[in-house]
Structure 1
């Protein structure tokens, strides 16, 4: 009851005396009375001619003067009006006509005081709407916080998935480039193989055609000779008896002694045979055509390295030399091949089975050998390296990790000086490992080998 009285009193204070409704955008004037903004502006506009002083108006309630530009918003009253509106919008109990000030926790519904005392809600847990609202507001906040955490997890998952998509696209693009590079190299090899076999086939064709054409010319000569004999005998047979019988026996004996000379049998079997599918299936066989018998250069060896007598095997033995080669590596445990490559295509194979860590490739002949230089193409190195943890790295900046299906036992290195390509193959499984991006070599290139403790490398001889 008291609440209704207070609500009524607040409504009377918040009612505009001009429009007799709850004020809209309430403003106060100098005397302290408040009105709807639109109402007081409309009233002052209509009475502007009645005022003794231009721009001065009178309050409808107390007749005190005010100026139009002195109107100021009454935010406090505006908030009270909003509260009154919210209160008036509250529902009343359909059964008792009372305001629903309570909330029944058991039934989850608003009830009035009469409802609380009724048998329907006897023994139920009830609370004032304000308290129940605060309690459930806190529960909602907790739920919001919990959902916000879940939302952040989903945002992170989405971010991770986006990164995976980007990474996957980059991986696919890298694989496309690798496949393109590998097929480009294979196409080059196959084109050269085609030219080689075509050259051989052309040579074989010319050799046999020459023999057959010689036989054909000889047969033409024999046919002409026979034609001459036939004409001679035919002419003699038609001559007079004296001419016919003259030396007849000698003529018949001489002409009848002509026999057919069988020419040399030239076989049409081709000796130049190219099994194209086999070339596709055996890349190593193709590469073998370019294989060089690479040997090691002891003058470039680090003091901890030991070479075999045939200069094809190098092992890490620790400090066994008492002196440092003037042109050798003094910091990196490396050694170079004796051969220098400036043009053409070159292939060599390295047995890497012995040991747990190694590096192979090519490098510029003039790379520094007395400092700890970073091995990468910008420094003149094109190499790959196996680490102790069995991971294989491409020595670039940054380094690239190579996924290995099988750890290579023999690594093949192909260098194409004109094309500017350096490629690596697992010669055991005939699979491509990596091809460096196209480069322009400024100096001669030499085979390059890194040897680490408990490891050795062996060069495989060509069968050419």
Structure 2
């Protein structure tokens, strides 16, 4: 086999000096130099383009003159170039310049005969390239087949995912249109209901006004009649004795016959009433669609709190001994957390406060302080409302927000929209809204929060109750 140096020299001799590549279809000119057929043609056409009358040309390499008729195909050089290409396909050892005709199974690399005798390959299993290339080719083909299968699977999965994206966008658009349509229908319905109730109210107004105006007109006529009789009697009293006595009995009879009929008594109570929230919005049903089951976490309970067996009721009593010391336990205030943590979505739970005289309830961040100095406000991670003897119902904002409730709630609902940032409270006895905290951004998990007062146990009903 030819060495790398010989191969390099042969490539240099077979390289076209115009394109600097191995000659393709080489042609020779009269001086003996050869070039690619296409390179020579382009070279001559460029010269003729500038000087169409030119008949004699010069060799690009030695500048010897030649004519186009002297061009001859160099078949022997063409055959030699094919041999050079075949030799080029056989790689040479970078270290020794010999052909890499051996394969080292241990190292997994091509080596030459001199590499085989070197210390780094001594004792290794080496084989001729022509003996193993077919086997590795089959393995590569199998690998290609597997990769093509994977590629096909990948393409199919990508097409499926693309289809899913399309379907998802279509579903979202359909749902968006449905929501818009539903709310539009509700708006139209409410608008028509509004017009109907306003019409009924107007009808009631006109009917009652007509009756009142009739009474007003009747009383006006009667007043005029009475005034006429008064004038008649006053004239008789002011006249002579003869005029006074003339037909006096008839005059008196007609005067005593005048009667005042009391108009029909009309109630001014409005009968056209419409409680929109009760008629069209079932607040309780809406809230309870997000209801979750909440139980109490004994590991967070203050040492004065007593839990029921099912962990749904908590009462404040005497201090308990032998409780596990835990950083999770409230130590300063009689508080306790729910076991459930909320990190996204909408959640709702109810607290039966009964006739209790005091309580705190709401949600708080999971990592709020438990010891002395605890401050129950949103800036410290608390979103809660309170009932106490001193201030009544308040929201634990900073400063406190007084809550004016018409009815005392026996059951309080707590609604959390984690993603939007709202915490709302409802009087579930009446289904009315109590208070909503300003929009917030919750940095961590939220948990149900309770503070228990003396003689005011709290009970957490399950969603099924």
The alignment's TM-score, normalised by the length of structure 1, stands at 0.40
The alignment's TM-score, normalised by the length of structure 2, stands at 0.40
